[in-house]
């Protein structure tokens, strides 16, 4: 950590969230149901970068959802959606960021700030395809106490 009292999340301000790219593929639809869509699987990856000259922190979050059985490769699933977002945070120019702090910030705050946009996008896409989707859960910060996932839905994985 950079300080005993101040963490990165305490000094940044979210300036914007941008959808950078989106890929979606669906399989065979019969009567509004995707064949093999027994379970929702969620996955995310987050990376952070500091730009001291711009006094900004950039967090890239890639989120994926696929329907189907756990042993099916995501790209072979009946439905596969992946999106990449960039969250931009302003920070004080004098604040020194260490790599461990940046990685932790990306994993926790970056995903937390992008998740509502991801949920809305995913549900909107499903609605446009006239498919029903159980609600995507709220994002729980890694390491926080969590209830176990329901039987028909996996917890998001990194």
1 pLDDT exceeds 50? Answer: no
Q: Return the CATH number at 67.
A: 3.10.420.10
**Residue 117 included in any domain:** yes
**Residue 75 included in any domain:** yes
142 pLDDT exceeds 80? Answer: no
87 pLDDT exceeds 50? Answer: yes
Query: What does the pLDDT look like over 124-141, one tens digit per residue?
Result: 988 887 777 777 878 887
Give the number of domains in the chain: 1
Take residue 85 and report the two structure tokens written for it.
């977002």
State how far the Cα of 139 lies from the Cα of 137, in Å rounded to an integer. Answer: 6
Asked if 8 and 101 count as a contact pair (C-beta separation under 8 A), the reply is yes
State how far the Cα of 6 lies from the Cα of 27, in Å rounded to an integer. Answer: 48
Query: What does the pLDDT look like over 29-55, one tens digit per residue?
Result: 556 555 555 678 889 999 999 999 999
> Would you give the distance in Å from CA 68 to the centre of its chain?
19
100 pLDDT exceeds 50? Answer: yes
pLDDT of residue 32: 57
Instruction: Note the pTM of the prediction, 2 decimals.
Output: 0.78
């Amino acid at each position: 950590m950079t300080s005993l009292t101040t963490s990165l999340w305490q000094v940044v301000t979210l300036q914007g969230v941008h959808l950078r790219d989106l890929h979606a593929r669906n399989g065979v639809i019969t009567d509004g149901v995707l064949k093999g869509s027994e379970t929702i699987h969620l996955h995310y990856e987050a990376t952070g970068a500091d730009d001291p000259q711009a006094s900004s922190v950039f967090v890239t979050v890639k989120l994926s959802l696929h329907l189907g059985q756990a042993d099916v490769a995501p790209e072979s699933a009946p439905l596969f959606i992946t999106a990449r977002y960039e969250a931009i945070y302003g920070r004080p120019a004098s604040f020194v960021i260490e790599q461990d702090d940046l990685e932790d910030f990306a994993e926790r705050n970056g995903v937390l700030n992008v998740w509502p946009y991801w949920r809305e996008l995913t549900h909107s896409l499903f609605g446009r395809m006239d498919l029903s989707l159980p609600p995507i859960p709220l994002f729980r910060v890694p390491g926080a106490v969590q209830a176990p996932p329901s039987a028909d839905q996996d917890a998001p994985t990194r």
